[in-house]
Amino acid sequence: MRVLGIETSCDETGVAVYDLEQGLLGHCLYSQVELHAQYGGVVPELASRDHIRKILPLVREVLTTTATTPQQLDGIAYTAGPGLVGALLVGAAVGRSLAWSYDVPAIGVHHLEGHLLAAMLEDPAPKFPFLSLLVSGGHTQLIKVLGLGQYQILGESVDDAAGEAFDKTAKLLGLGYPGGAVLANLATHGDPKRFTFPRPMVNRQGLDFSFSGLKTQVMTTWKAQASQDEQTRADVARAFEDAVVDTLVIKCRRALQQTHLTRLVIAGGVGANQRLRQQLSALANSLKVKVFYPRPEFCTDNGAMIAYAGCCRLAAGERASLGFNATPRWALHNLQIPRTATK
């Protein structure tokens, strides 16, 4: 079974081809990040306008580079939500219509299910069940993953997502938007001992996170500095990053101990953060669990994870109706376990 996957939920247009027997055949991505940077955030209408310009050239490119003929396609997957409704509708319209015209089934994929399963594109791939740490600009969640569509949220951020905290903190340190990755890079030159920020909610029971207070702490500290020189900026960045990473690691440790799961899978854009990866690997070593990371380009939004998740659901017999739609708000735990195909 070979599936074309389309991702358009936010500001990246991603298209990929996944084959159940041969694995990922190819993928391509167009990022709008520069377009939105000048506005300090994603402008939904501009994002939608860019998706409709880029989507078909990317589909053509990926079909060509993977030497996939229309006859070889067994299904089309597109991100159906959550995300920006106008952006989602572009991918859904093109994806659902391609499937109708090729006379193959279509499937609307949950964007976060795509992220949760992105590590499956790597070798070795994790086996079910596993603990997933989903950390992105929109989400910070610890999820017990029992199988396809079986997701139990163990804890999540009560306010800002980790990636959002990175971007907002970068902005107030004058690193531009989206500056999360710039901040992480700057932090490598920072002195870890000069400032210390609290690790939010680690003294409380449970597995929830909170990052908005940390951002305020950074702002107060930064404004109090007589000399806002480059080294001070790097030192603050380092202390911020350490606080976020530590918090994530502490909660992962707690979740692994509570669930007795032996596999930890990272998902989402913050999963590309090097310090987080180092610390989680150290944690995994100490607890004798295996940790799995998608390659950095599959941590951020991409078409490959949608092609993969869509392929799994299509293989299980799930089908989208001919009328398509976008679901901008869609809780992960509301996902259904696909019934095995009857035909």
Partner 1 sequence: MKLLALDTATEACSCALLCDETQFERSVMTTRHHAELILPMIDEMMQQANLRPQQLDAVVMGCGPGSFTGLRIACGVAQGIAFAAEVPIIPISSLAALAQAAYRDKGMTHVLAAIDARMGEVYWGEYILGENKLMQLCGEEIVCPPESVKLLENSAAYGVGSGWMAYNTVLLKALGTVTAISVETETTYPQASAMLPLAAAAFEQGLAVSPELALPIYLRNKVVHGS
Strand partners, 81: 110
Longest Cα separation, the chain:
71
CB atoms within 10 A of CB 100: 14
Q: Which uninterrupted H or E stretch holds 194?
A: none
Q: Choose which of 22, 65, 101, 336 interacts with partner 1 (CB under 8 A).
A: 101
Nearest to 97 by CA among 2, 1, 4: 4
Q: Three-state SS for 341?
A: coil
Q: Choose which of 1, 67, 322, 341 interacts with partner 1 (CB under 8 A).
A: 322
- What is the rounded distance in angstroms from the CA atom of residue 168 to the CA atom of residue 39? 14
- The first and second tokens of residue 17, run together, are 């081809």
How many residues in the shown chain lie near partner 1 by CB under 8 A? 34
User: In the complex with partner 1, which residue's Cβ is closer, 93 or 172?
Assistant: 93
Q: Three-state SS for 92?
A: helix
Residue pair 55/6 in contact (Cβ under 8 Å)? The answer is yes
Please list every residue from 56 through 75 that binds partner 1, using CB under 8 A. Answer: 56-57, 59-60, 70
Q: Choose which of 20, 52, 146, 250 interacts with partner 1 (CB under 8 A).
A: 52
Q: How far is the CB of 105 from partner 1 (least distance, A)?
A: 13
330 binds partner 1 (CB under 8 A): no
Long-range CB contacts (within 8 A, 24+) of 217-225 = 218/169, 218/172, 218/173, 219/172, 221/195, 221/197, 222/172, 222/173
Q: How far is the CB of 86 from partner 1 (least distance, A)?
A: 5
String of contacts with partner 1 for each residue 27-46, x by CB under 8 A = ------------x---x-xx
Q: Choose which of 75, 83, 95, 138 interacts with partner 1 (CB under 8 A).
A: 95
Q: How far is the CB of 34 from partner 1 (least distance, A)?
A: 15
- What is the rounded distance in angstroms from the CA atom of residue 235 to the CA atom of residue 227? 12
- The first and second tokens of residue 162, run together, are 């980790």
192 binds partner 1 (CB under 8 A): no
189 binds partner 1 (CB under 8 A): no
Q: How far is the CB of 104 from partner 1 (least distance, A)?
A: 10
String of contacts with partner 1 for each residue 299-318, x by CB under 8 A = --------------------
Q: How far is the CB of 326 from partner 1 (least distance, A)?
A: 7
53 binds partner 1 (CB under 8 A): yes
Q: Choose which of 162, 173, 326, 332 interacts with partner 1 (CB under 8 A).
A: 326
User: In the complex with partner 1, which residue's Cβ is closer, 39 or 128?
Assistant: 39
Q: Is the dihedral of CA 165, 168, 171, 176 positive or negative?
A: positive
Q: Choose which of 74, 100, 210, 315 interacts with partner 1 (CB under 8 A).
A: 100
Cα–Cα distances in angstroms (integers) from residue 325 to residues 74, 85, 125, 162, in the given order: 21, 9, 32, 29
Q: Three-state SS for 64?
A: helix
Kindly list the residues in this chain that would bind partner 1 in the complex (CB under 8 A): 39, 43, 45-46, 48-49, 52-53, 55-57, 59-60, 70, 85-86, 89-98, 100-102, 322-326
